[in-house]
């Protein structure tokens, strides 16, 4: 149809062909699997073989072909054969063909020797992988290796092309058995979107058309599949990300940030955040030479201008302000070593991620992975073509997303400082800690937003006092009233927290300090979550209570001193602890052999010798209202 | 053109364009002294167009370098000077002074000496003279089998040698643009374009190209089955050889005495594309194979330049 259009209406033909999209795929398999024949067949069938190539092919087929003088399509792509004889490194080759529906870029990777480095390189830009197996042999070690590398590089959509069906008499049961075997294996390594297509690249069966030999097959032919597949994960949705490549400053009035969007979309008016700095602004214009755009999507190269004069340089990432990438300087990663010189743990290298290059050192691998068996083995280093899981330590923090989420935000290369060669490629799993020099830049849903949703002012009500003073009783009553009032609360009780979060801590001075530090941090998080937090801890030292106060904002920390004289508390002794302590069965007991430092200036003091617990709870409630932490009664 | 509110996935030309622009920006950002090699042909036209887009509204932050042989078609010189003036880009023209002095030409010195001295040596001279460390070239991976595995960023030694073993793995959109003292890098922003993509893009973007790509009546002589245009009076005619007017066009452009014309009626861009596509398909049906030397010249150009 489009052939006719080509001859009769070239303008219409060109219009149609300009609308085609692009699919990049990688072919994996060795020469024995018929990979070259398959690619040759695709080039041939898409009519991209030029006159001189065809003439040469006809001649070559007669001389060195393996098809008895018939066209040997493998020779089309085995131009590398000559180079192989000359001992030049076999490498990834990129080939191009186009059909009426799509343009294709094929990463053609030889299946032997340098396979890991080459396959990983080819897979890094592929949306789909076509893995070949020989129908006579079924799944082989190399099939597993290829599949593992494909999944490592984040390709989720895989075609298993069961080739040489002609050699097994087009037997449906052969294809079915391989299909079942492969699906079981593939799901185990995270390849979920698997399509199995029986073909004969040599005879052309099921490449373009199914043909009579495979009449039992009712799925798409290989080319139909490639023309229509929407690869999983290739879609670049998610929040907007744009590593800044270049700052355009033609005159003092214009300052544009040029880069390629690697995720999401952007429109004028969108709030963006600059990482790792953290400043925010609004997108003013999306500038291109063809005029301003109303929206730009992942994959486009654009220039953005911002509403505010903020500091943005090459290497920064512009991101959706509400969902910015994390910023960190320590990561767990997968590393693929690609150099003859082995990795040296601790040596300073360079790391390039996005448009940013920083110093890095690599820790001794946690383990390396046997690509044939997927077994983990211990390793001190990584050699050429080895894959390992390693922690990295960067000398500056970088914005990132895990590789699994976004290849461009989570993939990096390691560069030698001395020779400038690329030593390795890597994929970020996760950050080991958040960088110290980076504020926890809260997102759009911040503390105030959460508090507003809960209709309350989050705070910590910190009860301190001796054991048996009545802290927990009062805190409990207070929480019940707040809860009945519709407040969102949480009660952190000393005994309960020591059963979980702090069960590793004893009662030494150091452990008591740590005990309070952890509780203070947890309280802070809960306040951030919008809660009214009631803390019931002896918390005997002023310094730690001051530390807890300092973690929070002005007015968020309400200290309640539950003032009960030691003799009163000891006479109550609800848990029998004072008796034990007096007998010497408990050491470091507050009030007995460990000091209690009463608050000097608490927000609230309740005297339990003159107040019942209910009155004490009322008193706290009243003060919270006075301090406008709670709305006044009836209000 | 893409509508400004379009949120659909990008077309193949949009993806190629975006990729090339990103490559050009990345190289320019990390280079100390970049330059764009400009051969006046269609690939150079596309590359220049992309460079203009990459830095808009600023001009490209690098000059163009034309390594001249003095034997290009007159129309190429006119086109080159007109376009660079219109776009306001800096153009450096380098002619190998040794060749000028010796009067190197394809007739008395042969095509390989001519090409090597003017172009290959001339390029090295120009890069060294100006201290360019990163040079953009318009080569594509689809041009020939051996280029299918060329990198986008291709590293050269201080003596401009290409060492297969020194080439770096290239993953994702991450390019290693670092180089040691004396090394330089050739950058090929059109690596993933095919000849058809180039023509489609020229058509879509209405990029000006040298009129020699379109069929017109031109004076030619036939030598060894190849039509050579008599572009000026420096061309020595054989005894009895008389230029005749034929409607011809050129598939690639180089030095006029070394560039074969093909007879054609395609006097519009769309017709050139149509002819190119139909020729390929009809040739597969067994037509007489036209071994036009233009194709081999394209290869020579690449060997010479890269």
Report the pLDDT averaged over residues B188-202.
Answer: 93
**B145 confidence band (pLDDT: 50, 70, 90):** low
Contacts of A7 in chain B (CB under 8 A): 274, 278
Q: Report the half-sphere exposure of A456 (CA within 13 A, side-chain side).
A: 22
Q: Given this model, what pLDDT does residue A574 score?
A: 86
User: Per the CB < 8 Å rule, is B12 touching A22?
Assistant: yes
Tell whether B17 is within 8 A of chain A (Cβ): yes
Q: Which residue of B has its CA nearest to A356?
A: B174
**Distance in angstroms (rounded) separating the CA atoms of residues A43 and A96:** 8
Question: Where do the domains of chain A lie?
Answer: 2-228, 241-320, 326-434, 447-626
CA distances from A397 to A97, A258, A431, B175 (A): 42, 22, 10, 20
Which helix (H) or strand (E) element contains residue A410? helix A407-410
**DSSP assignment of A152-196, as one string?**
HTT--EEEEEEE-GGGGTT-HHHHHHHHHHHHHHHHHTT--EEEE
Q: Given this model, what pLDDT does residue B161 score?
A: 81
Domain A447-626 is in which class? alpha beta
Which of A50, A95, A411 is facing B174, going by the closest CB pair?
Answer: A411
Which residues, other chains included, contact A141 with Cβ-Cβ below 8 Å and sequence gap of 6+?
Answer: A372
Contacts of B171 in chain A (CB under 8 A): 120-121, 124-125, 411, 413, 425
Q: Given this model, what pLDDT does residue B152 score?
A: 93
Question: Which tens digit of pLDDT belongs to each residue from B201-225?
Answer: 999 999 999 999 999 999 999 888 8
Q: Is A108 helix (H, G, I), strand (E, B) or coil?
A: strand
**Distance in angstroms (rounded) separating the CA atoms of residues A65 and A71:** 7
**Distance in angstroms (rounded) separating the CA atoms of residues B299 and B197:** 19
Q: Say which range, A94-108, B150-164, B193-207, B273-287, has the weakest mean pLDDT.
A: B273-287
Q: Give a yes or no: residue B3 inside a domain.
A: no
Q: Give a yes or no: residue B4 inside a domain.
A: no
Query: Residues B163, B184: one domain?
Result: yes
Inter-residue long-range contacts of A468-471, CB under 8 Å, 24+ positions, other chains counted? A468/A564, A468/A569, A468/A570, A468/A572, A468/A573, A468/A574, A468/A575, A468/A577, A468/A578, A469/A562, A469/A563, A469/A564, A469/A569, A469/A608, A470/A562, A470/A564, A470/A572, A470/A608, A470/A613, A470/A616, A471/A536, A471/A537, A471/A538, A471/A562
Q: Is A477 helix (H, G, I), strand (E, B) or coil?
A: helix
**Distance in angstroms (rounded) separating the CA atoms of residues A74 and B70:** 43
Q: What percent of chain A has pLDDT over 90?
A: 53
Q: Which CATH number do you get for residue B135?
A: 3.40.50.620
Q: Given this model, what pLDDT does residue B300 score?
A: 38
Vertex B300: Cα angle to B75 and B148 (nearest 5): 115
Q: Is A130 helix (H, G, I), strand (E, B) or coil?
A: strand
**Distance in angstroms (rounded) separating the CA atoms of residues A130 and A126:** 10
- A326-434 shares its CATH topology with A447-626: no
> Does the pLDDT at position A307 exceed 90?
yes
Q: Give a yes or no: residue B96 inside a domain.
A: yes
Q: Give a yes or no: residue B5 inside a domain.
A: no
Contacts of B167 in chain A (CB under 8 A): 91
> Does the pLDDT at position B274 exceed 90?
no
B97 is in which domain, residue-wise? 12-203
**Distance in angstroms (rounded) separating the CA atoms of residues A399 and A278:** 10
CA end-to-end distance (rounded Å), chain B: 33
Q: Say which range, A150-154, A256-260, A547-551, B74-78, has the weakest mean pLDDT.
A: A547-551
Q: Given this model, what pLDDT does residue A486 score?
A: 85
Q: How many Å lie between the alpha carbon of B240 and the closest alpha carbon of chain A? A: 32
Q: Given this model, what pLDDT does residue B7 score?
A: 55
Query: Residues B160, B194: one domain?
Result: yes
Do A117 and A336 meet the contact criterion of CB atoms below 8 Å apart? yes
Which residues, other chains included, contact B279 with Cβ-Cβ below 8 Å and sequence gap of 6+?
Answer: A51, B290
Contacts of B185 in chain A (CB under 8 A): none
Radius of gyration of chain B measured on its C-alpha atoms: 20
Instruction: Provide the pairing of β-strand A376-377 with A356-362.
Output: unpaired
Contacts of A420 in chain B (CB under 8 A): 176, 178-180, 183
Q: Given this model, what pLDDT does residue B287 score?
A: 26
Question: Which tens digit of pLDDT belongs to each residue from B7-29?
Answer: 567 899 999 999 999 999 999 99
Dihedral sign, Cα of residue B124, residue B126, residue B132, residue B134? negative
Q: Is A334 helix (H, G, I), strand (E, B) or coil?
A: strand
Q: Given this model, what pLDDT does residue B44 score?
A: 96
**Distance in angstroms (rounded) separating the CA atoms of residues A416 and A340:** 12
Question: Which tens digit of pLDDT belongs to each residue from A413-448?
Answer: 999 988 899 999 999 999 987 554 444 454 567 778
Rounded to 5 degrees, what are φ and ψ at A400? -160, 160
Query: Residues B154, B294: one domain?
Result: no
**Distance in angstroms (rounded) separating the CA atoms of residues B7 and A627:** 51
User: Per the CB < 8 Å rule, is B18 touching A299?
Assistant: yes
**A114 confidence band (pLDDT: 50, 70, 90):** low
Q: Say which range, A405-414, A443-452, A560-569, B247-256, has the weakest mean pLDDT.
A: A443-452
Query: Residues B105, B246: one domain?
Result: no
Question: Which tens digit of pLDDT belongs to each residue from A522-571?
Answer: 999 999 999 999 999 999 888 788 888 888 888 899 999 999 999 999 99
Query: Residues B228, B170: one domain?
Result: no
**A232 confidence band (pLDDT: 50, 70, 90):** low
Residues 248-287 of chain B whose Cβ lies under 8 A from any Cβ of chain A: 270-271, 273-274, 277-281, 283-284
- Of B173, B203, B233, the last residue of a domain is B203
Q: Would you tell me how many other CB atoms lie within 10 Å of the CB of residue A453?
A: 11
**Number of domain units in chain B:** 2
Q: Give a yes or no: residue B30 inside a domain.
A: yes
Q: Given this model, what pLDDT does residue A56 score?
A: 67
**DSSP assignment of A387-398, as one string?**
EEEEEEEEEEEE
Active site residue A539: yes
Q: What percent of chain B has pLDDT over 90?
A: 58
**Distance in angstroms (rounded) separating the CA atoms of residues A105 and A21:** 11
User: Per the CB < 8 Å rule, is B164 touching A407?
Assistant: no
Dihedral sign, Cα of residue A62, residue A68, residue A70, residue A73? negative
Which of B1, B3, B12 is the best mutation test for A, with the most CBs of A within 10 A? B12
Using alpha carbons, select from A138, A141, A148 the residue that is nearest to residue A116: A148
Q: What is the ipTM of this complex?
A: 0.88
> Does the pLDDT at position A3 exceed 80?
no
- Helices B195-205 and A10-18: crossing angle in degrees, nearest 10, is 100
More confident residue, A414 or B258: A414
Question: Which tens digit of pLDDT belongs to each residue from B32-60?
Answer: 999 999 999 999 999 999 999 999 999 99
- Of B187, B203, B219, the last residue of a domain is B203
What's the mean pLDDT when you consider all of chain A?
Answer: 86
CA distances from B192 to A24, A83, B110, B140 (A): 11, 22, 33, 6
Q: Is A513 helix (H, G, I), strand (E, B) or coil?
A: helix
Q: How long is chain B?
A: 306
Query: Residues B96, B36: one domain?
Result: yes
**Distance in angstroms (rounded) separating the CA atoms of residues A288 and A282:** 18
**DSSP assignment of A541-609, as one string?**
-HHHHHHHHHHS-TTSEEEEEEE--HHHHHHH-TTSHHHHHHTTSS-S-BTTTB-----SS-SEEEETT
Helix, strand, coil: what percent of chain A each, to 5?
A: 30, 30, 40
Q: Give a yes or no: residue B247 inside a domain.
A: yes
Question: Which tens digit of pLDDT belongs to each residue from A186-200?
Answer: 988 888 899 999 999
Q: Say which range, A244-253, A310-319, A367-376, B121-130, has the weakest mean pLDDT.
A: A367-376
Query: Could you identify the residue written with the tokens 């070394």?
Result: B258
- Residue A526: DSSP 8-state: H
Query: Residues B198, B265: one domain?
Result: no
**A208 confidence band (pLDDT: 50, 70, 90):** confident
Q: Give a yes or no: residue B152 inside a domain.
A: yes
Domain A2-228 is in which class? alpha beta
Query: Residues B189, B40: one domain?
Result: yes
Q: Given this model, what pLDDT does residue A64 score?
A: 61
Inter-chain contacts counted by CB atoms under 8 A, chains A and B: 207
List b or e across B200-232, with b for residues whose CB sees 16 or more CB atoms inside 10 angstroms. Answer: bbbbbbebebbbbbbbeebebbeeeebbbbbbe
What's the mean pLDDT when you consider all of chain B?
Answer: 85
Q: Say which range, A2-16, A166-180, A462-476, B220-234, has the weakest mean pLDDT.
A: A2-16
- Of B178, B203, B228, the last residue of a domain is B203
Query: Residues B198, B219: one domain?
Result: no
Do A92 and A12 meet the contact criterion of CB atoms below 8 Å apart? no
Q: Give a yes or no: residue B6 inside a domain.
A: no
What's chain B look like in SS3? CCCCCCCCCCCHHHHHHHHHHHHHHHHHHHCCCEEEECCCCHHHHHHHHHHHHHHCCCCCCCCEEEEECCCECHHHHHHHHHHHHHHCCCEEEEECHHHHHHCCCHHHHCHHHHHHHHHHHHHHHHHHHHCCCEEECCCCCCCCHHHHHCCCEEEECCCCCECHHHCCCCECCECCCCCCCCCEEEECCCCCCCHHHHHHHHHHHCCCCCHHHCCEEEEEEEECCEEEECCCCCCCCCCCCCCEEEEEECCCCCEHHHCEEEECCCCCHHHHHHHHHHHHHHHHCCCCCCCCHHHHHHHHHHHHHC
Set A64, A539, A571, A594: catalytic member: A539
> Structurally, what CATH architecture does the domain formed by A241-320 represent?
Beta Barrel (2.40)
Q: Given this model, what pLDDT does residue A54 score?
A: 66
More confident residue, A156 or A455: A156
CA distances from A635 to A481, A623, A630 (A): 16, 15, 9
More confident residue, B290 or A201: A201
**Distance in angstroms (rounded) separating the CA atoms of residues B172 and A410:** 11
Question: Which tens digit of pLDDT belongs to each residue from A36-91?
Answer: 788 888 887 776 555 666 666 677 666 666 666 666 666 666 554 444 444 444 57
Question: Which tens digit of pLDDT belongs to each residue from A456-488?
Answer: 889 999 999 999 999 999 999 999 999 888 889
Do B21 and A296 meet the contact criterion of CB atoms below 8 Å apart? no
CA distances from A122 to A81, A239, A302, A370, A509 (A): 19, 27, 26, 20, 59
User: Per the CB < 8 Å rule, is A7 touching B274?
Assistant: yes
Which residues, other chains included, contact A252 with Cβ-Cβ below 8 Å and sequence gap of 6+?
Answer: none
Beta-bridge mates of residue B246: B218
**Distance in angstroms (rounded) separating the CA atoms of residues A593 and B109:** 105
Does domain A326-434 bear CATH number 2.40.30.10?
yes
**B285 confidence band (pLDDT: 50, 70, 90):** very low
């Amino acid at each position: 149809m489009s052939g006719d259009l080509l001859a009769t209406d070239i303008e219409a033909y060109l219009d149609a062909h300009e609308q085609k999209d692009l699919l990049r795929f990688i072919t994996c398999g060795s020469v024995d699997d018929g990979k070259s024949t398959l690619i040759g067949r695709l080039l041939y069938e898409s009519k991209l073989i030029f006159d001189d190539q065809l003439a040469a092919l006809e001649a070559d087929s007669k001389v060195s072909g393996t098809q008895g003088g018939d066209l040997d399509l493998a020779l089309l792509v085995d131009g590398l054969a000559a180079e192989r004889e000359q001992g030049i490194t076999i490498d990834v080759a990129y080939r191009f063909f186009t059909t009426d529906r799509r343009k294709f870029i094929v990463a053609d990777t030889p299946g032997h020797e340098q396979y890991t480095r080459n396959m990983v390189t080819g897979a890094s830009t592929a949306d789909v992988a076509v893995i070949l197996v020989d129908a006579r042999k079924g799944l082989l070690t190399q099939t597993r290796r290829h599949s593992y590398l494909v999944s490592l590089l984040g390709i989720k959509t895989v075609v298993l092309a069961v080739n040489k069906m002609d050699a097994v008499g087009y037997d449906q049961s052969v294809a079915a058995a391989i299909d079942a075997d492969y699906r079981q294996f593939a799901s185990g390594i995270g390849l979920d979107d698997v399509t199995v297509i029986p073909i004969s690249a040599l005879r052309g069966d099921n490449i373009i058309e199914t043909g009579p030999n495979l009449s039992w097959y009712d799925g798409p032919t290989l080319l139909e599949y490639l023309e229509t597949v929407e690869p999983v994960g290739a879609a670049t949705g998610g929040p907007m990300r744009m590593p800044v490549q270049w700052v355009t400053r033609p005159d003092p009035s214009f300052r544009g940030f040029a880069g390629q969007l690697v995720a999401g979309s952007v429109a004028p008016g969108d709030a963006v955040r600059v990482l790792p700095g953290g400043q925010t602004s609004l997108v003013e214009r999306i500038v291109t030479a063809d005029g301003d755009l109303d929206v730009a999507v992942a994959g486009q190269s654009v220039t953005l201008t911002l509403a505010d004069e903020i500091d943005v340089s090459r290497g920064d990432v512009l991101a959706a302000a509400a969902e910015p990438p994390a910023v960190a300087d320590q990561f767990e990663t997968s590393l693929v070593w690609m150099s003859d010189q082995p990795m040296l743990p601790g040596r300073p290298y360079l790391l390039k991620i996005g448009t940013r290059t920083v110093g890095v050192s690599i820790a001794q691998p946690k383990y390396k992975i046997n690509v044939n068996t997927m077994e983990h083995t211990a390793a001190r280093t990584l050699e050429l073509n080895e894959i390992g899981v390693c922690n990295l330590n960067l000398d500056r923090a970088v914005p990132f997303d895990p590789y699994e989420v976004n290849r461009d935000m989570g993939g990096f290369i390691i560069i030698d400082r001395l020779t400038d060669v690329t030593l390795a490629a890597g994929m970020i799993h996760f950050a080991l800690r958040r960088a110290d020099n980076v504020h926890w830049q809260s997102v759009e849903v911040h503390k105030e937003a959460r508090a507003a949703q809960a209709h309350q002012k989050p705070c910590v009500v910190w009860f301190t006092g001796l054991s048996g003073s009545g802290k927990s009783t009062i805190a409990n009553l207070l929480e019940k009233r707040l809860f009945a009032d519709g407040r969102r609360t949480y009660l952190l009780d000393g005994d309960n927290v020591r059963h979980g979060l702090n069960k590793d801590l004893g009662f030494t001075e150091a452990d008591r300090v740590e005990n309070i530090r952890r509780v203070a941090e947890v309280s802070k998080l809960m306040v951030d979550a919008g809660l009214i937090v009631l803390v019931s801890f002896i918390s005997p030292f002023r310094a730690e209570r001051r530390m807890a106060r300092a973690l929070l904002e002005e007015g968020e920390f309400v200290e309640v001193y539950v003032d009960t004289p030691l003799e009163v508390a000891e006479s109550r002794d609800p848990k029998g602890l004072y008796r034990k302590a007096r007998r010497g069965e408990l050491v470091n007991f507050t009030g007995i052999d460990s000091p209690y430092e009463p608050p000097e200036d608490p927000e609230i003091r309740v005297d339990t010798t003159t107040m019942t617990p209910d009155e004490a709870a009322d008193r706290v409630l009243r003060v919270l209202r006075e301090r406008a932490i709670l709305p006044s009664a009836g209000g | 053109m893409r509508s400004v509110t379009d949120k659909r996935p990008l077309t193949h030309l949009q993806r190629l364009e975006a990729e090339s622009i990103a490559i050009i920006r990345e190289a320019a950002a990390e280079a100390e002294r970049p330059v764009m090699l400009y051969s006046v042909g269609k690939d150079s036209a596309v590359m220049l167009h992309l460079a203009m887009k990459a830095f808009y509204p600023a001009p490209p932050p690098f000059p163009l370098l034309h390594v001249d042989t003095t034997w290009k078609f007159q129309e190429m010189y006119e086109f080159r000077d007109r376009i660079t003036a219109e776009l306001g880009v800096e153009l450096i023209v380098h002619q190998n002074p040794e060749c000028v002095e010796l009067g190197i030409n394809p007739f008395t010195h042969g095509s390989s000496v001519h090409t090597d001295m003017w172009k290959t040596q001339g390029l090295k001279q120009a890069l060294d003279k100006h201290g360019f460390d990163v040079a953009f070239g318009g080569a594509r991976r689809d041009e020939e089998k051996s280029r299918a595995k060329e990198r986008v960023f291709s590293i050269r030694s201080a003596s401009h040698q290409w060492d297969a073993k020194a080439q770096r793995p290239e993953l994702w959109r991450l390019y290693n643009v670092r180089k040691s003292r004396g090394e330089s890098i050739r950058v090929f922003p059109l690596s993933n374009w095919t000849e058809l993509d180039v023509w489609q893009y020229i058509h879509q973007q209405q990029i000006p190209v040298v009129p020699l790509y379109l069929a017109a009546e031109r004076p030619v002589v036939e030598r060894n089955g190849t039509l050579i245009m008599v572009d000026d009076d420096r061309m020595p005619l054989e005894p009895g050889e008389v230029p005749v007017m034929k409607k011809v066009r050129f598939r690639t452009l180089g030095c006029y005495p070394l560039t074969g014309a093909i007879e054609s009626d395609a006097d519009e861009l769309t017709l050139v594309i149509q002819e190119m596509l139909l020729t390929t398909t009809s040739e597969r049906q067994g037509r007489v194979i036209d071994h036009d030397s233009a194709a081999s010249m394209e290869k020579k150009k690449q060997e010479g330049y890269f």
